């Protein structure tokens, strides 16, 4: 693929991609934004980026190719990977607000077929905070071959739930933390059971439409192949090239991952969430505040160790991290050919959206979310 770079025009009413912030940010911050833009270009970044300060776009640019025939642009939809969990968490909070779900409610109160040691001990709180002891369907023997054969949303939801039913807990609920795609899939099942419609239809109506997200949806794998507006996921392989990995993704995303969105729609989601349009003014902070303190990461980490270890908490959906004395709330996502990140800094009124249709290779962590975080907490 050739690497190109396109300005995101019109969508944000701007005449250029790198926008002067005038009195909204000091010159040092403007220099950081310019350096960030150049860094992405130098790195061969493929995707779209949007930085918003006090409601005004500071950087809005697309880079690289959406597919073999078209560059990424303002209308390109990207697979969100695990950033999708934010939509699921908001759906759960809405139903908790309506008194249809209790955070202390047991899994067995909502979804049948689980053994008692799971049904009677795992709570909605545990599922939201990755403390249930459940793991990842994608690591379960036989899951991916079966999952790739499913051709309807109903098969994806029911089939994934059946695999999780046959799994066991890695630890007693509440006794540890393990990032859990299984937990967020089950939250989607709870949403469907409680609201009486499919998880997908509920989220489309009560999250996407309510937030004004006009381009966001759960597109299917055939749509991914055929719709030129949807960026193909290009996975890095050891030779340094890229492979289109659509056929290694499910027929449709799940409550744990792979809704599709644009930078503008994710900014709309951030505005609606922080503005108490998706949840009322009691449930918004309840969802975005820290619930479980997170310790240092396990194992060797890339780059030098920070002088001061970050303070981080798992919230009901996002993670809250204290950076330069400011709380950053957000979520990232990764899969073969996908690297996404949403960060909100309410204290300084910044929103950062980074959507890429390339991964960083070998499970590596891309550097651009951290560089964006330095800007929004300056």
Using alpha carbons only, give the angle 209, 214, 218 rounded to the nearest 5 degrees. 80
Give pLDDT, residue 360. Answer: 84
Same domain for 197 and 226, yes or no, is no
Mark out the alpha helices in 55-131 (DSSP H runs): 84-97, 116-119, 124-128
In 3D space, the residue among 71, 226, 250, 48 whose CA is nearest the CA of residue 147 turns out to be 250
Q: Do 72 and 118 belong together in one domain? A: no
Regarding whether 88 and 66 lie in a shared domain, the answer is no
Identify the segments of the chain with pLDDT beneath 70: 1-28, 296-309, 362-363
Q: Report the phi/psi class of residue 192: left, alpha or beta, with left for phi > 0 and alpha for psi in -120 to 50.
A: alpha
Retrieve residue 362's tokens. Answer: 């070998």
Tell whether 21 and 34 lie within a shared domain.
yes
Name the residue among 253, 149, 148 with its Cα closest to residue 199.
253
Are 183 and 168 contained in the same domain?
Answer: yes
Q: What is the pLDDT of residue 12?
A: 30
- Domain assignment present for 269: yes
Is residue 366 one of the residues assigned to a domain? yes
221 and 359 housed in the same domain: yes
Query: Is 259 in contact with 218 (CB distance < 8 Å)?
Result: yes
Q: How far apart are CA 94 and CA 68, in angstroms?
A: 40
Edge-to-edge, what's the strand order for the sheet holding 350-356?
5-7, 56-63, 47-53, 350-356, 338-345, 326-335, 319-323, 311-314, 292-294
Residue 362: DSSP 8-state: T
Residues 73, 103: one domain? no
> In this structure, what token pair is assigned to residue 103?
């955070």
Q: The dihedral of CA 140, 146, 152, 155: what is its sign? A: negative
Count of structural domains, the chain = 2
Identify which of 318, 336, 337 has the alpha carbon closest to the alpha carbon of residue 266: 318
Is 208 within the bounds of a domain? no
On whether both 91 and 128 belong to a single domain, the answer is: yes
* Same domain assignment for residues 363 and 235: yes
Shared domain for 77 and 97, answered yes or no, is: no
| Distances from the Cα of 325 to the Cα of 2, 284, 289, 353, angstroms | 41, 22, 16, 21
Structure tokens that stand for 348 in this block: 């300084």
Q: Indicate whether 330 belongs to any domain.
A: yes
Range of the domain at 220: 5-82+216-251+258-299+311-376
Q: What is the DSSP letter of 309?
A: P
Q: What is the pTM of this model?
A: 0.91
3-state secondary structure of 211: helix
CATH number, domain containing residue 176 = 3.40.710.10
**Same domain (yes/no): 78, 92:** no
Locate 190 and state its tokens.
Answer: 């709870």
Q: 341-362: b or e for each residue (b if 16 or more CB lie within 10 Å)?
A: bbbbbeebebbbbbbbbbbbee
Residue 239: the pLDDT is 76
What is the predicted pLDDT for the residue at 29? 83
């Amino acid at each position: 693929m050739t690497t190109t770079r396109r300005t995101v025009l019109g969508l944000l009413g701007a005449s250029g991609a790198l926008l002067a912030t005038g009195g909204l940010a000091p010159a040092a911050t403007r220099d950081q934004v310019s350096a960030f833009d150049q860094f992405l270009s130098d790195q061969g970044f493929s995707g779209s980026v949007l930085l918003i300060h006090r409601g005004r776009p500071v950087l809005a640019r697309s880079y690289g190719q959406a597919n073999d025939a078209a560059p990424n642009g303002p209308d390109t939809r990207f697979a969100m990977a695990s950033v999708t969990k934010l939509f699921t968490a908001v759906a759960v909070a809405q139903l908790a607000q309506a008194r249809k779900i209790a955070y202390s409610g047991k899994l067995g109160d909502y979804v049948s077929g689980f053994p008692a040691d799971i049904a009677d001990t795992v709570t909605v709180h545990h599922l939201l905070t990755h403390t249930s002891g459940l793991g990842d369907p994608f690591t379960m023997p036989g899951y991916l071959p079966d999952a790739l054969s499913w051709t309807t949303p109903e098969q994806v939801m029911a089939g994934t739930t059946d695999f999780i039913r046959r799994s066991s807990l890695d630890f007693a609920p509440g006794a540890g933390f393990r990032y859990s795609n299984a937990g967020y899939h089950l939250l989607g099942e709870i949403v469907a059971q409680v609201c009486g419609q499919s998880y997908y239809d509920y989220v489309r109506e009560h999250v996407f439409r309510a937030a004004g997200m006009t381009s966001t949806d759960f597109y299917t794998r055939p749509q991914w192949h055929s719709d030129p507006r949807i960026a193909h996921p290009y996975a890095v392989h050891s030779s340094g090239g890229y492979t289109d990995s659509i056929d290694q993704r499910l027929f449709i995303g799940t409550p744990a991952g792979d809704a599709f969105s644009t930078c503008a729609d994710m900014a709309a989601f951030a505005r609606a969430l922080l503005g108490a349009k998706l949840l009322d003014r009691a449930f918004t902070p309840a969802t975005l505040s820290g619930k479980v303190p997170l310790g240092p990461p396990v194992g060797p980490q890339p780059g030098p160790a920070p002088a001061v270890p970050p303070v981080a908490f798992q919230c009901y959906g996002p993670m809250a991290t204290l950076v330069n004395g400011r709380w950053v709330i957000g979520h990232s996502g990764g899969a073969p050919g996908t690297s996404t990140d949403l960060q909100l800094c309410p204290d300084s009124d910044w929103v950062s959206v980074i959507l890429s249709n390339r991964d960083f290779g070998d499970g590596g962590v891309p550097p651009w979310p951290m560089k964006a975080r330095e800007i929004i907490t300056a």
